[in-house]
Amino acid sequence: MLEARKIRLVMELRQQGITDQAVLSAIEKVPREAFVPESFHDQAYENTALPIGHGQTISQPSVVGFMTQALEIGPRMKILEVGTGCGYQAAVLAGLCRRVYSIERFRELLREAEKRLLDLRVNNVTTKWGDGASGWPEQAPFDRMILTAAATEVPQELLDQMSENGIIIAPVGETSREQTLIRMRHMPDNTWEKEELWPVRFVPMLDGKVGDNSEQ
């Protein structure tokens, strides 16, 4: 039953404009039901966002597909993901690149994501608990970066951790009703070329250091 729904979803994604076969294949290989609460398993292959706890959601598959496709990932690349969430986006990215580094500020969400990735034998994702806005300078530079929470602008600390020709995909906006997905390219002269892709709605990136009780 779930397998038939998955095939239908992949066909739907292709019709919507996700044409990169490697991206479609990566999505098809990841069991989305493993990343949502059991009560939502029957909706795992519907093209909709679903709650995962702590006020966070798993993005709808079309958004995951479009963001992944827009990253233009190559097999030797190193990717930074800001906002691990349930681990689904990281699992999709892992099927396309050399290594994913992923940061999550909610410790319980991170523990659950780490267990899922381990159970699925996804071995090229490295995670840490921390403030995503600070990035992961010890592992920089990154070839690609994806933000899964919305900011008013991409923090300079993250821009500084990108390699030449790097690409960042991020939702930006002042409010949840005014978010736009943008693609930023790091040019050879160290400037950034910004392209607006389409309207989106993501949970906001939280400000401040990690460590309060809600994040333990």
Which of 59, 134, 163, 176 is flagged as catalytic?
Answer: 59
Q: End-to-end CA distance of the chain, in Å?
A: 37
The pLDDT value recorded for residue 216 is: 45
Supply the pLDDT for residue 214.
45
Enter the pTM of the model: 0.93
Task: Per-residue pLDDT tens, the chain, 216 aa: give them.
Answer: 888 999 999 999 999 999 999 999 999 999 999 999 999 999 999 999 999 988 888 999 999 999 999 999 999 999 999 999 999 999 999 999 999 999 999 999 999 999 999 999 999 999 999 999 999 999 999 999 999 989 999 999 999 999 999 999 999 997 767 899 999 999 999 999 999 998 888 888 876 555 543 454
- Annotation marks residue 59 as catalytic: yes
∠ CA(3), CA(104), CA(149), 5° rounding? 80
Q: Please report the sign of the dihedral spanned by the C-alpha atoms of residue 66, residue 132, residue 118, residue 79.
A: positive
pLDDT value for 208: 54
For domain 63-215, give the CATH superfamily: Vaccinia Virus protein VP39 (3.40.50.150)
Mind listing the pLDDT tens digit for each residue in 114-169?
A: 999 999 999 999 999 999 999 999 999 999 999 998 999 999 999 999 999 999 99
Beta carbons of 199 and 215 less than 8 angstroms apart: no
Q: Which residue from 156, 174, 179, 173 is spatially nearest to 63, judged by alpha carbons?
A: 179
